[in-house]
Amino acid sequence: MSLDKATVARVATLARIKVPDADLERMAGELQGIMSWIEQLSEVDTKDVAPMSSVVGHVLSQRADVVADGGRADAVTSCAPERVQLGDGAFFVVPKVIE
């Protein structure tokens, strides 16, 4: 596949990239190199090659959903400028925001 300056300009327009006219020839050469590399990759026979990574067949490790370090509301809110103590917990007081 041959890329000329007009094709590079069209690709740049579609990608919304501003490429100066002076750089179109150089860019055409670079894109031509990329396209030839892709053509080389398509020639490789990968029919008998197993995928290197996949999420199929893997079991994710899970942990129990338990509170490991709770019950310290007073310590957590101790440096708050204003807080409210309700029942067993302490809460931060923040300004009301209405839009």
Could you report the per-residue pLDDT of 59-95, keeping only the tens digit for each?
788 888 887 777 777 788 888 888 888 877 788 888 8
Q: What is the pLDDT of residue 60?
A: 80
pLDDT digits (tens, 9 = 90+) for 23-38: 999 999 999 999 999 9
Q: pLDDT band at 55, cuts 50/70/90?
A: low
For the chain, strand residue ranges (E) read 83-86, 89-92
Alpha helices in 1-99 (DSSP H): 5-14, 24-42, 73-76
pLDDT digits (tens, 9 = 90+) for 1-14: 678 889 999 999 99
Rounded Cα–Cα distance for residues 3 and 29 (Å): 8
- Tokens for 37, please give them: 């590399």
